[in-house]
């Protein structure tokens, strides 16, 4: 006779119910993946079918769950650790066999087994704790949401759920997941009016299942419903403040991890068939390369953006460019402020670290300014470029507006992605486009702090043209004008040959501007002279200003290094600029940044030179372009093998977040307190 149910604690009965749900959901999850695998007839059968052997294994697993888990639980005894281990990892051997057939599906199965084991194999000391019930409920919520999202991607994203078995398994999984969280009323599901949206999505998903023409929308709706459930569960159990504090505690870590997270999400989306024009999806490596290039606002491409991607894929690339240009933290905190959420000093400090502003009060003002000026400049650029496309290319209104918006965002964010296979080479004879694009590139590359100062009224008392602003402006003008004059002289008989004096001047100006992290080109870079190639490498390495959408070591870094050399030659002990003394820490930081950047470029170039059968000039150009997040190429990108692409991906990431940022992130939190005696070392 089983003991009286009342003697079993209520929280313990619910824990056992959740554990059973996790085990039972493993069956449709396995069948769903197996229906997508095209392997051995004896195990998986052709696409859309599941072999009787696998169905028998699933049935046997169901009996094990009933006999080894439900019966002991009904009798009041807790299933042992060995039983949980066997049941949570029972399907791992099948996923191992599936790995040789379809690696992606096998890895998905491994991930499910791991997450399921984390729910079932909890520490024994916590199993008897009543408060651990909410933790288990939240873990189950995350697990079923992830599984439903995987089903939605397989079905509507990749189109892999062929046949009745796969479809039924996916729908059954989603319905069971939603029903379990709704009926058992986990802490992740509000019990009152706050759960109205979740219940509406559940009903809508069930309605879609009854309509054959709407069934493709059922799984995404269920996935959205469960994602909302998990979000509300996090808020109930931990509170959003804990997540907010965790995100803003270490701005350096946040900067690196946020870019990495956006890149991974972009990679996943770009592998979807709907993202490409041929509806086959990019390979994972090409998707990673493209996502990194867009998020790091570089512009190097392995596939043509205009022809390889569908409209959806192009919009994804554009979104990655915008997120990468402004920074995920900037966008997140602005959204919080727009929703009326209070942002503390820690959050303002995090934003200040990312946009180069150390004063917290200024950081908040600058945050509003960043979003406003970005919207205004990009919209103005889109209107101007749309006019140009209609006037000079004869595009229709819709196409001209889209092309104008895409290239305006790409130019202001210094990304260099173009919808034309040859960038803007075909429009070299139309000065309108190089001039508009160079204006957008220049504004995006000055830095938001500089723009904030420049957009004040010249006579305003609050205007403060300090050394930073002056260094950015003076160095940018010197580099741009100097580069223009040099290109005009050196390329008159090379890449600028055949152009009029007016067009030569405009294109020389444009190449000098775009070389500092923009990535567009109006002339054939393979026709450049050796001297121009060297200057291009220098300009790409220097890059734009701090706190801007561009990359490189930054113009102020080069300016400080130049001032340091000047001070040493004049015998001065301190570095001065515009009547101010630059802090010694800034001078040291600039020197270290130059050294680390040169080391990153040198090591990457050596690896590429050893592994790639491409000319030295082209590889060096590609390496510097990737580090400076420029995106200009002499044609080496398409010739890279898998290792070469991964090297460029890593270099683009380092160039965007900064080698010094990575170094600070990796260093220990506590430094050594040991002080050593001074020593003389001969140098020079």
Does 321 share its domain with 441? yes
* Secondary structure of residue 68 in the 3-state scheme: helix
Encoding tokens for residue 602?
């040198």
250 in any annotated domain? no
Same domain membership, residue 86 and residue 138 = yes
**Same domain, residue pair 307 and 179:** no
Residue 252 maps to a domain: no
Phi-psi region of 521 (alpha: psi -120 to 50; beta: other; left: phi over 0): beta
Q: How far apart are CA 559 and CA 467, in angstroms?
A: 11
Q: What pLDDT score was predicted for residue 648?
A: 94
Per-residue pLDDT, 124: 44
Determine, yes or no, domain membership for 654. Answer: yes
Token code pair at residue 429: 């004879």
Segment 488-501, tens digit of pLDDT: 999 888 888 888 88
* Residue 598 domain flag: yes
Residue-wise pLDDT for 39-57, tens only, equals 666 677 777 778 888 888 8
pLDDT given at position 125: 45
- 285 with 233, same domain: the answer is no
Q: Are residues 313 and 265 in the same domain?
A: yes
Same domain, 292 and 193: no
Let me know: does 542 contact 601? Beta carbons within 8 Å: no
This prediction has a pTM of: 0.81
Q: Note the pLDDT of residue 575.
A: 85
Whether 672 maps to a domain, the answer reads no
Question: Looking at residue 331, what is its pLDDT?
Answer: 62
Whether 684 is in a domain gets the answer no
Whether 459 maps to a domain, the answer reads yes
Instruction: Give the range of the structural domain holding residue 658, as residue numbers without chain letter.
Output: 260-665
Read off the pLDDT band of 427 (50, 70, 90): confident
> What pLDDT is attached to residue 378?
92
The pLDDT-based confidence of 75 (bands split at 50, 70, 90) is: low
Are residues 640 and 581 part of one domain? yes
210-215, Cβ contacts within 8 angstroms, sequence gap of 24 or more: 215/167, 215/171
Residue 327 falls in which region: left (phi positive, over 0), alpha (psi -120 to 50) or beta? left
What is the pLDDT averaged over residues 649-661? 83
Q: Which two tokens stand for residue 292?
A: 């990194």
CA nearest to 354, candidates 557, 543, 584, 548: 548
229, 320: one domain: no
Domain boundary among 179, 203, 238: 238
Question: Which among 238, 270, 299 is the end of a domain?
Answer: 238
SS3 529: coil
In a domain, 538, yes or no: yes
What is the share, in percent, of the chain residues with pLDDT greater than 70?
80
**Strand, helix or coil for residue 424:** coil
- Please tell me the total count of domains within the chain: 2
Burial of 212 (C-beta count, 10 Å sphere; 0-12/13-18/19+)? exposed
Short-list 213, 216, 212, 151, CA closest to 178: 151
The neighbouring-strand residues paired with 631 are none
Query: What are 571's two structure tokens?
Result: 């015998």
Among 433, 434, 432, 425, which residue's Cα sits nearest to residue 495? 425
Tell me the average pLDDT across 98-112: 85
Residue 478 token pair: 């010197």
Judgement on whether residues 84 and 210 belong to the same structural domain of the protein:
yes
Average pLDDT (93-103) is: 85
Residues 502 and 607 in one domain: yes
Rounded Cα gap, residues 64 and 40, in angstroms: 26
The three-class DSSP label of residue 124 is helix
pLDDT, residue 227, reads 83
Whether residues 332 and 231 share a domain: the answer is: no
Find the length of the chain. Answer: 684
What distance in Å separates the CA atoms of residue 297 and residue 361, rounded to the nearest whole number? Answer: 28
């Amino acid at each position: 006779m089983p003991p009286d149910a009342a003697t079993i604690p209520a929280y313990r009965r619910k824990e056992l119910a959740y554990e059973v749900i996790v085990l039972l959901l493993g069956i449709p999850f396995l069948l769903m993946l197996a229906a997508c695998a095209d392997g051995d007839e004896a195990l998986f059968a052709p696409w859309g079918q599941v072999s009787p052997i696998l169905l028998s294994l699933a049935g046997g697993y169901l009996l094990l769950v009933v006999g080894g888990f439900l019966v002991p639980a009904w009798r009041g005894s807790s299933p042992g650790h060995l039983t949980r281990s066997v049941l949570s990892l029972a399907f791992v051997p099948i996923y191992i066999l599936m790995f040789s057939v379809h690696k992606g599906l096998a890895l998905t199965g491994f991930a499910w087994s791991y997450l399921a084991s984390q729910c079932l194999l909890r520490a024994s000391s916590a199993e008897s704790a009543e408060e651990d019930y909410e933790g288990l409920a939240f873990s189950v919520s995350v697990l079923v949401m992830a599984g439903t999202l995987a089903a939605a991607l397989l079905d509507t994203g990749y189109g892999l759920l062929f046949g009745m078995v796969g479809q039924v398994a996916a729908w059954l999984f989603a319905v069971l997941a939603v029903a379990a969280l709704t009926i058992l009323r986990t802490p992740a599901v509000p019990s009152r009016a706050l759960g109205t949206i979740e219940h509406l999505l559940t009903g809508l998903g069930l309605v879609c299942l009854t309509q054959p023409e709407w069934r493709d929308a059922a799984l995404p709706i269920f996935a959205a419903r469960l994602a909302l459930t998990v979000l509300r569960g996090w808020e109930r159990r931990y509170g959003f403040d804990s997540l907010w504090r965790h995100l803003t505690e270490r701005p350096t870590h946040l900067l690196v991890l946020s870019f990495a997270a956006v890149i991974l999400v972009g990679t996943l989306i770009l592998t979807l068939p709907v993202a490409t024009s041929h509806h086959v999806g990019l390979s994972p490596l090409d998707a990673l390369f493209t996502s990194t290039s867009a998020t790091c606002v570089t512009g190097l491409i392995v596939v043509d953006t205009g022809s390889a991607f569908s409209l959806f894929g192009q919009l994804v690339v554009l979104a990655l460019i915008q997120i990468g240009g402004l920074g995920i933290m900037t966008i997140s905190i602005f959204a919080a402020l727009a929703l009326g959420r209070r942002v503390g000093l820690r959050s303002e400090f995090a934003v200040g670290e990312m946009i180069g502003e150390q004063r917290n009060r200024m950081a908040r003002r600058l945050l509003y300014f960043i979003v406003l000026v970005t919207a205004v400049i990009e919209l103005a650029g889109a209107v101007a470029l749309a006019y140009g496309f209609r006037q000079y290319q004869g595009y229709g209104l819709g196409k001209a507006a889209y092309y104008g918006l895409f290239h305006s965002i790409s130019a202001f964010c210094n990304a260099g992605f173009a919808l034309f296979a040859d960038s803007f080479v075909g429009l070299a004879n139309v000065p309108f486009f190089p001039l508009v694009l160079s204006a957008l590139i220049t504004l995006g590359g000055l830095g938001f702090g500089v723009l904030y100062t420049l957009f004040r009224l010249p006579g305003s008392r609050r205007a403060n043209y300090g050394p930073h602003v002056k260094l950015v402006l003076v160095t940018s003008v010197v580099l741009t004008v100097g580069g223009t004059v040099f290109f005009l002289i050196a390329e008159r008989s090379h890449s600028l040959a055949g152009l009029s004096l007016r067009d030569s001047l405009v294109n020389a100006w444009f190449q000098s501007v775009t070389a500092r992290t923009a990535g567009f080109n109006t002339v054939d870079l393979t026709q450049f002279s050796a001297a121009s190639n060297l200057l291009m490498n220098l300009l790409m390495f220097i890059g734009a200003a701090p706190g801007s959408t561009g990359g490189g070591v930054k113009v102020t870094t080069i300016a400080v290094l130049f001032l340091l050399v000047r001070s040493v030659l004049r015998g001065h002990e301190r570095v001065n600029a515009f009547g101010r003394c630059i802090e010694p820490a800034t001078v040291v930081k600039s020197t270290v940044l130059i050294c680390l950047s040169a080391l990153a470029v040198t090591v990457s170039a050596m690896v590429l030179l050893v592994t790639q059968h491409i000319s030295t000039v082209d590889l060096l150009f590609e390496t510097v372009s990737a580090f400076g997040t420029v995106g200009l190429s002499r044609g080496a990108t398409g010739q890279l093998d898998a290792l070469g692409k991964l090297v460029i991906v890593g270099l683009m990431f380092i160039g965007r977040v900064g080698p010094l940022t990575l170094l600070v992130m990796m260093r220990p939190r506590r430094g050594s307190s040991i002080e050593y005696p001074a020593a003389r070392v001969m140098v020079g």
